[in-house]
Structure 1
Amino acid sequence: MPPRRPRRKGIYILPNLFTLAALFGGFYAIVMAMNQRFDLAAVGVFCAMVLDSLDGRVARMTNTQSAFGEQMDSLSDMVSFGAAPALIMYEWALQGLGKAGWIAAFVYCACAALRLARFNTNIGVVDKRFFQGLPSPAAAALVTGFIWLLDDMGWTGARDIPGLAWTAFGVTLYAGLTMVTNVPFYSFKDVSFKRSVPFIVIVAIALGIALINIHPPAVLFGLFWIYGFSGYAVYLWKRSKGKPVSVIATSMDEPDERGLHG
Structure 2
Amino acid sequence: MQNSSMPTVKNKGIYLLPNLLTTAGLFSGFYAVIASMNDRFEASAIAIFVAMIFDGLDGRMARLTNTQSAFGAEYDSMADMVSFGMAPALIAYNWGLSELGKIGWLACFIYCAGAALRLARFNTQVGIADKRYFQGLASPAAAAIIAGSVWVGQDYGVEATSVSWLFGLITAATGLLMVSNFRYASFKEIDWRGKVNFLVMLLVVAVFVVISVDPALILCCLFYLYACSGPFTTLRSVEKLKVSDVIGDEDVDTIIPTAESMPESQQQEKH
Assess, with a 3 A threshold, how the Cα gap between structure 1 residues 192 and 4 changes in structure 2: closer, same or farther.
closer
Matches within 5 A, 1:108-257: 108-155=111-158, 157-159=159-161, 161=162, 164-240=163-239
Q: What 5-or-longer segments of structure 2 have no aligned partner? A: 1-5, 247-253, 257-271
* CA-CA distance at 1:203 after TM superposition: 0.6
Residue 27 of structure 1 contacts residue 80 of structure 1 at CA under 8 Å; is this kept in 2? Answer: yes
* CA-CA distance at 1:195 after TM superposition: 1.2
Residue identity opposite 1:207 in structure 2: A
State the alpha-carbon separation in 2 of the partners of residues 179 and 4 from structure 1: 46
- Which of 78, 81, 98 is matched with 2:101 structurally? 98
Q: Secondary structure at the match of 1:93?
A: helix
Matches within 5 A, 1:8-157: 9-155=12-158, 157=159
Report the number of matched residues. Answer: 242
Q: Secondary structure at the match of 2:18?
A: helix
Residue 238 of structure 1 contacts residue 245 of structure 1 at CA under 8 Å; is this kept in 2? Answer: no
Residue 34 of structure 1 contacts residue 91 of structure 1 at CA under 8 Å; is this kept in 2? Answer: yes
Shift >6 Å, 4+ stretches: none
Residue identity opposite 2:175 in structure 1: G
Assess, with a 3 A threshold, how the Cα gap between structure 1 residues 57 and 158 changes in structure 2: closer, same or farther.
same
State the alpha-carbon separation in 2 of the partners of residues 178 and 101 from structure 1: 18
Cα RMSD over matched residues? 2.2
* TM-score, normalisation: structure 2: 0.85
Q: What 5-or-longer segments of structure 1 have no aligned partner? A: 247-254, 258-262
Residue identity opposite 2:225 in structure 1: I
* CA-CA distance at 1:5 after TM superposition: 10
* TM-score, normalisation: structure 1: 0.88
Relative contact order, CA 8 A, sep 6+: which one is greater? 2
1:27-66 deviations in whole A, cap 9, x for unaligned?
0100000000100000000000011000000000000000
